[in-house]
């Protein structure tokens, strides 16, 4: 079974600075998807960014980018120019590419605080 | 509004009772997923339905059951409730097999007293 580990329960960043959230995963599969989800106090789960394992290029979405290291099974999220609205829980998630099984395996989450 | 509707938003009930959580997926999505989010277990996959049929099962207790109806809405039934069942229950939907992330609903907060 796949596992996802987020080793930083809490992090903080100054507004306008850059922060990196860590995620490692364990899998025997070679093809899969990785995601970062944001959960603000409203508790809504919001997809931040997605990475396909067969793509070597790191995904980017505006101020959010990932550092995907397949051999190391590492998938970190970098938030640039942090804003107050970025304060939330961030969850790393894994999904197999296997047919018929689209469930997500989540890490425990990292609580990000943004300091004005 | 994500397009995935969950009702009710909050539910308080006593131990031993039975409750039903409802989810309407985003228009066009055939798959519905149920997740449980608790402080100690994190986000746990419970069950997936695709176009009315059960597709995958996760860590779902025998006291819990779900179904997806012809109009694609889904219900999660929780019975013989225990204090430990208190959690946030999320429904998500997706267009499978397209491998995008899900769209989540805003969740139902269940409190068992």
The residue ranking higher by pLDDT, B17 or A103, is B17
pLDDT beyond 90 at B25: yes
Confidence of residue A97 (pLDDT cuts 50, 70, 90): confident
Give the mutation candidate from A39, A42, A103, A104 for the B interface (greatest B CB count, under 10 A): A103
Q: Report chain A residues whose CB lies below 8 A from the CB of B96.
A: 102
Query: B50-90, pLDDT tens digit by residue?
Result: 999 998 899 899 999 999 999 999 999 999 999 999 999 99
Query: A29-87, pLDDT tens digit by residue?
Result: 888 999 999 999 989 999 999 999 988 889 888 999 999 999 999 999 999 999 999 99
pLDDT at residue A101, rounded to an integer: 66
Tell me if residue A85 falls in helix, strand or coil: helix
Count Cα atoms within 13 angstroms, Cβ side, for B47: 17
Confidence of residue A5 (pLDDT cuts 50, 70, 90): very high
Is the Cβ of A101 closer than 8 Å to some Cβ of chain B? yes
What value does the mean pLDDT of chain B take?
A: 93
Do B102 and A91 lie within an 8 Å CB cutoff? no
The residue ranking higher by pLDDT, B70 or A102, is B70
Cα separation of B66 and B68, whole Å?
A: 7
Do B43 and A106 lie within an 8 Å CB cutoff? yes
pLDDT beyond 80 at A98: no
pLDDT beyond 70 at B98: no
**What DSSP designation does B81 have?**
-
Closest Cα partner for B102 from B113, B93, B110?
Answer: B93
> How far apart are the CA of B41 and the nearest CA of chain A, in angstroms?
8
pLDDT above 70 covers what percent of chain B? 96
**What DSSP designation does A31 have?**
S
- Report whether B48 contacts B31 (CB < 8 A): yes
pLDDT at residue B97, rounded to an integer: 62
> How many other CB atoms are there within 10 angstroms of residue A37's CB atom?
25
Confidence of residue B40 (pLDDT cuts 50, 70, 90): confident
- E strand or H helix at A86: none
**What DSSP designation does B96 have?**
T
Q: Report chain A residues whose CB lies below 8 A from the CB of B42.
A: 106-109
Instruction: Cite the DSSP H helix spans in B3-111.
Output: none
Q: Report chain A residues whose CB lies below 8 A from the CB of B92.
A: 45
- Report whether A7 contacts A110 (CB < 8 A): no
Burial class of residue B9, CB neighbours in 10 A (0-12, 13-18, 19+)? exposed
Give the mutation candidate from B30, B101, B109 for the A interface (greatest A CB count, under 10 A): B101
Closest Cα partner for A109 from B3, B88, B32, B59?
Answer: B88
């Amino acid at each position: 079974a796949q596992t996802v580990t987020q080793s930083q329960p809490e992090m903080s960043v100054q507004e306008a600075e850059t922060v990196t959230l860590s995620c490692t995963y364990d899998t025997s599969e070679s093809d899969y998807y990785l995601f970062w989800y944001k959960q603000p106090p409203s508790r809504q789960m919001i997809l931040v960014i997605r990475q396909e394992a067969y793509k070597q290029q790191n995904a980017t979405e505006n101020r959010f980018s990932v550092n995907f290291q397949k051999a190391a099974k590492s998938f970190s999220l970098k938030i640039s120019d942090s804003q107050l609205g970025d304060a939330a829980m961030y969850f790393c998630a894994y999904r197999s590419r296997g047919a018929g099984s689209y469930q997500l395996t989540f890490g425990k989450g990292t609580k990000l605080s943004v300091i004005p | 509004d994500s397009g995935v509707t969950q009702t009710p938003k909050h539910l308080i009930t006593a131990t031993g009772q039975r409750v039903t959580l409802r989810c309407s997926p985003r228009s066009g999505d055939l798959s519905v997923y149920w997740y449980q989010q608790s402080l100690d277990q994190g986000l746990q996959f419970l069950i997936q339905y695709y176009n009315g049929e059960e597709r995958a099962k996760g860590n779902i207790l025998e006291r819990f059951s779900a179904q997806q109806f012809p109009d694609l809405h889904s219900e999660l039934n929780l019975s013989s409730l225990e204090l430990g069942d208190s959690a946030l229950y999320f429904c998500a939907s997706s267009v499978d097999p397209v491998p995008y992330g899900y769209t989540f609903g805003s969740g139902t907060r269940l409190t068992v007293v």
